[in-house]
């Protein structure tokens, strides 16, 4: 068979390096550690990138998929570093980047009736490898928030909204996804559930009314909680309140690097 030209390896004379090049939005099965059931199988949306030196025209896109298939059934937080090393080697790169975004399910009981339902949380694992490895764990946690201003100025009731608190952390040791989610939920006016009976709705509504919080209060409360965990080295907290009586969302963000702030 006639040898086919490798155009990706052909030279490029523009002398412009590319920071990230690769494949995006691959749907792929992964395995995640489950605190109570050891493992949970889910489906992730995967992004895989490497850097490209200025002298090369392109990268070999098919090799990303080959690497995924090589670790089929073994893609987990424990294997991310191995996959990144394989990407650097196979694609002759100095930097590799892997993103996994996936739903994670937790069985959650209603506060009064004890009715059980599955809650899904959108989670992220982001790994980067150049000279040193870097790993970020992220969770997006839906919660209830109730407006303190509305409660103070209204004769009857107060407006509330569903909020999403997005937390990303760098840490040492091991932190369970379930524990990180619980840290965040404790900081809200009230948690969100998949199944509530009437007695539960009453309890959750009254809990939120007794614990009003602005979007600023939410990110500060989560920040205090994360700062109390010495294993968390860096974090970013974002909160978006999907307002129920305004035609906009309220937003706040805090990012803290404990090493830079002398808290490591």
pLDDT at 263: 59
Structure-block tokens of residue 187: 């900081």
Whole-angstrom distance, CA of residue 64 vs CA of residue 78: 19
Q: Percent of the chain beyond pLDDT 90? A: 78
Residues 37-55 pLDDT 10s: 888 999 999 999 999 988 8
What integer is the mean pLDDT of 104-131?
96
The number of residues in the chain equals 264
pTM above 0.95, yes or no: no
pLDDT at 227: 97
C-beta separation of 17 from 51 below 8 A: yes
φ/ψ of 173, rounded to 5, equals: 75, -135
Which is nearest to 255 in space by CA: 241, 240, 235?
235
More reliable by pLDDT, 73 or 153? 153
Would you say residue 87 has pLDDT above 70? yes
pLDDT at 9: 66
Would you say residue 128 has pLDDT above 70? yes
Mean pLDDT of the chain: 92
pLDDT at 4: 61
Maximum average pLDDT range among 45-49, 157-161, 258-262: 45-49
């Amino acid at each position: 068979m006639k040898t086919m030209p490798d155009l990706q390896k052909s030279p490029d004379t523009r002398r412009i390096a590319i920071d990230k090049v690769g494949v995006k939005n691959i749907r792929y099965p992964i395995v995640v550690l489950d605190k109570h059931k050891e493992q949970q199988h889910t489906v992730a949306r995967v992004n895989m990138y490497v850097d490209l030196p200025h002298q090369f025209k392109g990268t070999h896109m098919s090799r990303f998929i080959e690497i995924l298939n090589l670790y089929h059934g073994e893609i987990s937080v424990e294997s991310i570093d191995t996959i990144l090393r394989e990407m650097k080697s196979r694609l002759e790169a100095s930097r590799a980047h892997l993103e996994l975004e996936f739903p994670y399910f937790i069985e959650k009981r209603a506060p009064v009736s004890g009715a059980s339902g599955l809650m899904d949380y959108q989670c992220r694992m982001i790994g980067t490898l150049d000279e040193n490895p870097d790993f970020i764990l992220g969770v997006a946690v839906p919660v209830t928030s109730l407006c303190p201003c509305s409660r103070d100025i209204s004769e009857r009731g107060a407006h509330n909204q569903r909020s999403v608190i997005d937390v990303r952390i760098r840490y040492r040791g091991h932190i369970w996804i379930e524990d990180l989610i619980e840290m965040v939920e404790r900081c809200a006016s009230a948690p969100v559930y998949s199944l509530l009976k009437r007695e539960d709705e009453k309890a959750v509504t009254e809990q939120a009314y007794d614990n009003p919080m602005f979007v600023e209060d939410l990110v500060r409360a989560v920040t205090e909680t994360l700062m109390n965990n010495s294993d968390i080295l860096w974090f970013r907290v974002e909160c978006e309140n999907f307002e129920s009586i305004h035609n906009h969302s309220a937003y706040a963000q805090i990012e803290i690097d404990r090493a830079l702030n002398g808290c490591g």
